[in-house]
Amino acid sequence: MDNSHSKIAVVIPAYNVADTIVKVITGIPKSVEAIIVVNDASKDDTVEKVKSVKDPRVTLINHTKNRGVGGAMLSGYSYALGLGVDIVVKLDGDDQMDVKFIPTLIEPIEKCEAEYTKGNRFLHSVALKKMPIGRKISNLGLTFLSKIASGYWNIFDPANGYTAISTSKLVSLDPKNIAHSYFFETSMLCELRKLDAVVMDISMPAIYQSERSSVKVPREIVVFSTNLISRIIDRVFTRYFLYDFTAVSLYIIIGTLLCLFGGIWGLVKWSEASQAGIPATTGTVLIAVLPIILGFQLLIQAISLDISDIPTKVQTSRLINDDLMSGYIKDLVTNNQVTIA
């Protein structure tokens, strides 16, 4: 991709951000060709604030009902594809993302070093010290599960919403598989892995404001947990059993069977020994322990091979899923679910 001809669009999902949206929009560099603000049925005067910005680059998309951050981004992504841009940046409207990092995000994509880039607050040592301890702990657990679910073992801070994506890869995504909730960013990683997209972390800080987050933590924990488990099962099945059968597939099958056999055998013999009041023999114990040890070794080997299979080279060819992403916004307009100003 030629740097001098890259057309950049910024999509801003906006929900009750009237106090910050003008600052965010006006701070976007002139090199950005289009600014798409998606008002996700805000209850404050976000719409009026956006309309007050006299910038011809700004397009306002209004949702008639709240569709979540993922739903807002899908509308913005779909509209951006219709503009013929090369890269789309996601920038939140709450002023917690520094617009000066936009060039840093898009540079690896322009150089064909990546197809999707995302912020990583854990690579920024100064900002990491300022991060609330609760966010640090939740991010650690979320990151590990997201690595398993997506297959991107080289990324961190998966819920970071400051991202950029090449439209050549964006057009290949099926919007039906992208989450509308705050699981959006993680679902994007999971779907991009199916396309063997190259993903890169970019070090940058987050800006923590005094306002309260609209995220309902207990609800989102349930959403993330159920979605992650579902995505882990889906990725393992589709990648290693449905579309291919490799050494990883074999290790998973044999390793799982050995662990199950050792565990069940051990529980049965322990129960029998307890009822009889006679200690289990050494041979009985070994029959339980050895399969479990061997099974774990095979499963660890499967994980090791999975880690080594991370995409590192941008593919020139692209897979288009019947252009579903481009048509997403058209269907919403037709059904009177959005208006465009």
**pLDDT tens per residue, range 291-307:** 999 999 999 999 999 99
- The pLDDT confidence band at residue 57, using thresholds 50, 70 and 90, is very high
Tell me the range of 53-62, 129-138, 277-286 where mean pLDDT is highest: 53-62
The closest alpha carbon to 200, from 282, 76, 105, 308, belongs to: 105
CA-nearest of 90, 87, 89 to 109 is 87
Instruction: Name the least confident of 30-39, 183-192, 272-281.
Output: 272-281
At 279, is the pLDDT very low, low, confident or very high (cuts 50, 70, 90)?
Answer: confident
Alpha-carbon gap, residue 120 to 206, rounded angstroms: 9
CA distance 51 to 53: 5
State residue 19's pLDDT score. Answer: 92
Angle between helices 217-237 and 133-150 (to 10 degrees): 20
pLDDT category, 209, cuts 50, 70, 90? low
Distance between CA 111 and CA 162 in Å, rounded?
19
pLDDT at 256: 97
As a whole-number percent, the residues of the chain with pLDDT over 70 amount to 86
Determine the pLDDT at residue 163. Answer: 96
108 band by pLDDT with thresholds 50, 70 and 90: very high
Burial class (CB in 10 A: 0-12, 13-18, 19+), 70: buried
Across the range 243-268, mean pLDDT stands at: 95
Band the pLDDT of 127: cuts 50, 70, 90. Answer: low
First to last CA, the chain: 31
Give the best-scoring range by mean pLDDT among 71-80, 278-287, 313-322.
71-80
Residue 215 scores a pLDDT above 90: no
Per-residue pLDDT band for 287 (boundaries 50, 70, 90) equals very high
Identify the pLDDT of residue 322. 58
pLDDT score recorded for residue 122: 76
Q: What are phi and psi of 90, to 5 degrees?
A: -100, 125
Q: What is the mean pLDDT of residues 196-221?
A: 69
Distance in angstroms (rounded) separating the CA atoms of residues 150 and 86: 24
Does 284 have pLDDT greater than 80? yes
pLDDT the model gives residue 85: 95
**What's the confidence (pLDDT) of residue 110?**
94
Give percent of the chain with pLDDT exceeding 90: 62
Query: CA 122, 71, 6, 53 torsion: positive or negative?
Result: negative
Supply 335's token pair.
Answer: 């059904």
Q: Kindly indicate the confidence band of residue 102, based on its pLDDT and cuts at 50, 70 and 90.
A: very high
At residue 210, does pLDDT exceed 60?
no
Strands 87-90 and 163-166: antiparallel
Q: For residue 36, what are the β-bridge partners? A: 11, 59
**Half-sphere exposure in the Cβ direction for 267 (13 Å, CA):** 6
Nearest-angstrom CA–CA distance, 306 and 300: 10
* 315, 317, 322, 323: CA torsion to nearest 10: 70
Q: Where are the alpha helices (DSSP H) in 238-281?
A: 247-276
pTM over 0.75: yes
Question: Looking at the predicted structure, is the pLDDT value of residue 211 above 60?
Answer: no
Mean residue pLDDT of the chain comes to 87
